[in-house]
Structure 1
Amino acid sequence: MFLRSFGFALLLSCPGVPHAQSPAEPCPAPQLDGGFLVPEQETYLHESSLMYACSAGQKPAVEGWWATTVCLNGLWSHTPQCINEDACFTPNIPNGKYNESPEGLWYREGSVIRVKCDEGYKHQTWGATASCRKGAWSSLPVCERSETSCDEPPKVQHAVVLQKYQDIFSADSEVRYECEHGYSLEGTNARKSILCVAGSWAIVPSCIKEISKPGAGDDVDTSGGIKKPVDGSRARGRGTASAAAAAAAAGGAASAAAAASAAAGGSTASETGSGTTSDRTESTSSPLTIAVVNCGSYPKVKNGDVVRRTQMFLKYACNGFYKRVGPEKVMCYNNDTWSTLPTCKEAFCQLDLDEYTNYKFQESGTIILKERETKSVACIWENFSSRITCAQGKVRLTQCCHYMDHYYQRCN
């Protein structure tokens, strides 16, 4: 007897041994005012179905003139309820949210809901509310995608976006990229944000393999290799074969010889005061361009960024609402300086719709247009809108006009 009791206790205490599952609970019969249940029972087994209908002037709290509920482990999938036939069911409004009903699944006659569109969406018409009348909703608002919203941020190899994924972003949304270990954003620090402006993302970064910087006494030739100066002098190390090659390429044999002599540590003719014309030209020429890694961190251009990097130059581009002024390429000189940088000049217009209340715009907030871009902004009257144009940095608006007015000819 003792052994049998001990064995039973051991079976209950051993992990991994299957235990008998407790049976699913039945459901008690629900109370239903103003209707009847089929079948009528005191209790209903798990997964049993129960149908019900309501008396004249009433209807079930879910769609249809009769309804079905299911017993699920002691609870009904929905509690049977009969409501006034003039009540409204919870509406389905894609991409929009509205105030919940205190009744749960339905709204009383005369209830009003106010719809707020999700991020990146706007109201299709000027109406943002709906009311329950005689069991139906009056003109439910529709949320459509805004033309100023953006798709998901572009994919960047070796990078992630530092936020939860979503496929629609509203205007002015900002996302931040970060590169994986061993990579860095080209021409920037380890992180960078891009902005959604007027339906498109600003210039997207790229993650490049990090390159070890040369030491203070190293020199980088045009083939990308690092070589040590023979005498430890960085300045003289840069004037070796590259100086002689540059002079020879210019077609001057004497200049090439002079450059080679300088590379070997000898004096040029110009240093002794008896130099030739070629010698004087060599001594006053502009600095030589060398590999860009020699100049350290890349120079920053406000509202622009590096979009291409080669061994010998950086290529800059401006963000979507700016235009470049100045050189497109920037090079590194052998005196540790950069060539002239470009600048990014504004090429957009900005308009605060809230400041133009007399135009009766349906939308609010600020819109941004690129240079020579035209947009239509809906007014509060159906099929009426205003045309807004950006030209030479200035905004031009038309009055609210009907779509059928021959493409706004009578609005100008």
Structure 2
Amino acid sequence: MSLRYLVFLLLVWNPQVLHAQSAAQPCPAPSLNGGFFSPGQSAYNHEATLSYACHDGLKPAGKGWWGTSRCQNGNWSPKPQCIDEKACVPLTIPNGNYDASTDGWYGERDRIWVRCDEGYEHKGRDATAQCINGAWSSVPICEKSTESCGDPPKIPHAVIIGKGYQEVFAVNSQLQYNCEDGYSAEGPDTKTIICISGNWTEGPTCKITQSCAEPPKIPHAVIINREYQEVFVNDSTVQYQCEDGYTAEGSDTKTITCISGNWTEGPTCNANCGDYPSVPNGDVVQVNGISLKYRCNELYTLEGPDIVTCQSNGTWTEPPSCKAAFCVIDPAQTTMYDIKLSAVEYIKEGLQKFIPCIWIDRTRRVQCIHGRMYSSACCTSYDHRYIGCQSEGRIQN
């Protein structure tokens, strides 16, 4: 394979190289009135440099008695030019500027007026320069004003906003500081300083705001979308997510916020055990995380533990039962035919009641013991209290 063919393949394979070569245009020989250049040829490659000199009475439009120019993609920079030897080339005024000539040079007796940058002033009040016999006379100097200020003070945990760095600031310049996140100045977070008679006014002090320590550790929950850190500034938020098999009230995710140095309340992650176990004649009276507390209805006694817990396998521990703790006297079914009773009567376990008999001023004393009804005979209240009344023992409820 020939070298020419290999170069062709590389250019085809990498069109960017081909484009770069085609974009770099050569330069034709420049026209130069009153001078000559070397090397003398009809065209020059991109980046080629030529030197030129001027005939008597003329000089290059730059410093020195000869000049140089470079081919930049079809154009010469700077353009080769011969000017009157009494003309002047542009000045460089540190910290100052003036109106540029459209020709790129200044003729004999031309004058320029220099403007100093902000914060600088003319030394000796000299603001003009004049071109005389190819040189500038009395070149103005821009020096720092005695009313100007230097670097503004560096304040811990603060940054200057809205202004780029510079070494000198004019009188009455204003700069604004902004405290970093987690810090605040007295009043607003932003404070202004002013340059007065060469000195800056006092800057702000950025103090740490009320912050929170590590967020609380919540059982069966993890913090998401937040890297570990020891201190959280005011209004910081942290988001929790319950682990698989557990849910928080509302949704699996809950956010807490740092307010005045304290975290708001976090979520409680409950295991997913489904519906609460049903306990006849009983109700859930308290929910604490993954635990339930039961209580039996009136006239019923709880048997077994009153706390039921959701286990990690998704099942509830054994619920309690509510056992009847009362006796019933039903007028339609009772064997006590000598009592007057219009409705069903309930007697709580361990308690006794006096049921009126069909005889005036006589009652039966009935008592519920272990779910069984015991009764006395029909006696007067005096007999019940002082003499005693014969017991008939257990009766049919």
Normalised by the size of structure 2, how large is the TM-score? 0.48
From the two aligned structures, give the one with the greater helix fraction: 1
Structure with the greater alpha carbon radius of gyration: 2
- State the TM-score, normalized to the length of structure 1: 0.46
| Greater relative contact order (Cα < 8 A, sep 6+) | 1
